[in-house]
């Protein structure tokens, strides 16, 4: 099976390449702000399945650049999905908990109404809808709080800040499931393979780490795991203002992906230990 991965340097794309048996292409070969380059790459490589690991993820910057975010997260994935549909090629697309309002405390289910609270979330909703409209075999994989040893993520930020501070203020009223990029990569590969033989399994699925925690709890686990004494002080979201609103409730109900594909939620603490072993 030849799997074409759009994305090369991002967290999930990097983990997909580590697993081998994929062809990964970056912006030089397929620029998501230039749709024609992406369609040309699809034609050139002729894959059996496609995984889209490209996204505009600068959440705050998207507030002032929503048009570009929507092109990268919405329009181009939709056109790629349509190209895959014409070729009978399964398309796996990574999305986010930011498509929801973030209200309440119950885990979000796949069929709950979307109500994004920022430009990034709106751009990802546009992508989901475009992929579905394409009509081919597809899976939309919503995930949350992605971390790895590469790229910009919470784990690397906490480690960097702890080099010069012994006290950190971290938001404690946002709750979610940190998710190792490695686990997302494995899930994408499993789903892509399943869709080749069972296209009827197409749909939207949730996948995040367990147990749920706050950003404060996540930070405390990071420092505990490396034996570093940092005073982590919890603060409310309003004490850390940002251009884009973050969801307070990022919990995801992941029962469906287990039922359909046999994919279990990863324990993010185990994934964290593996990432820290690589970083520290």
pLDDT tens-digit series, residues 130-148: 999 999 999 999 999 999 9
H-type alpha helices, the chain: 11-18, 35-45, 66-70, 76-87, 119-134, 154-162, 181-197, 215-225, 255-261, 268-279
Higher pLDDT, 22 or 20: 22
Q: What is the DSSP letter of 267?
A: B
- Which residues make beta-bridge pairs with 267? 210
Q: What is the pTM of this model?
A: 0.97
Per-residue model confidence (pLDDT) at position 43: 96
Contact between 99 and 245 (Cβ < 8 Å): no
Of 121, 101, 103, 9, the C-alpha closest to 54 is 9
Q: Is 98 part of the annotated catalytic residue set?
A: no
Cα–Cα distance measured from residue 178 to residue 232, given in angstroms and rounded to the nearest whole number: 18
219 within some domain: no
233 within some domain: no
240 within some domain: no
165 within some domain: no
Task: Specify the number of domains making up the chain.
Answer: 1
Query: 105 lies in which domain range?
Result: 3-153+177-209+251-266
Query: 56-87: per-residue pLDDT in tens?
Result: 999 999 999 999 999 999 999 999 999 999 99
Q: Could you say which of 56, 98, 120, 205 is catalytic?
A: 120
- Contacts of residues 26-34 at CB distance under 8 Å and 24 or more positions apart, as own/partner, are 30/6, 30/54, 32/6, 32/56, 32/71, 32/72, 32/76, 32/77, 33/68, 33/71, 33/72, 33/76
The whole-number average pLDDT for the span 232-243 is 96
273 within some domain: no
Per-residue model confidence (pLDDT) at position 280: 84
Domain CATH code at residue 24: 3.40.50.720
């Amino acid at each position: 099976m030849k799997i074409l991965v759009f994305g090369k340097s991002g967290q999930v794309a990097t983990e997909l390449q580590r697993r081998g048996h994929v062809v990964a292409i970056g912006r030089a070969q397929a620029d998501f702000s230039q749709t024609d380059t992406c369609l040309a790459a699809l034609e050139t490589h002729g894959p059996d399945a496609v995984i889209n690991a490209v996204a505009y993820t600068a959440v705050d910057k998207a507030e002032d650049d929503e048009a570009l975010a929507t092109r990268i997260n919405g329009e181009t994935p939709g056109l790629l999905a349509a190209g895959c549909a014409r070729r009978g090629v399964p398309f796996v697309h990574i999305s986010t908990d930011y498509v929801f309002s973030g209200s309440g405390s119950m885990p979000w289910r796949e069929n709950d109404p979307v109500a994004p609270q920022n430009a990034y979330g709106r751009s990802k909703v546009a992508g989901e809808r475009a992929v579905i409209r394409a009509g081919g075999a597809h899976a939309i994989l919503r995930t949350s709080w992605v971390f790895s040893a590469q790229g910009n993520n919470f784990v690397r930020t906490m480690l960097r800040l702890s080099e010069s501070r012994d006290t950190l203020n971290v938001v404690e009223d946002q709750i979610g499931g940190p998710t190792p990029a490695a686990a997302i990569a494995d899930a994408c590969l499993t789903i892509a393979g399943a869709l080749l033989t069972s296209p009827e399994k197409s749909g939207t699925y949730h996948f995040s780490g367990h147990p749920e925690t706050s950003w404060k709890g996540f930070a405390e686990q990071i420092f505990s795991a490396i034996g570093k004494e940092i005073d982590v002080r919890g603060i409310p979201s309003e004490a850390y203002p940002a251009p884009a609103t973050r969801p307070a409730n990022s919990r995801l109900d992941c029962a469906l992906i287990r039922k359909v594909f046999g994919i279990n939620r990863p324990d993010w603490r185990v994934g964290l230990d593996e990432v820290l072993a690589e970083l520290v």
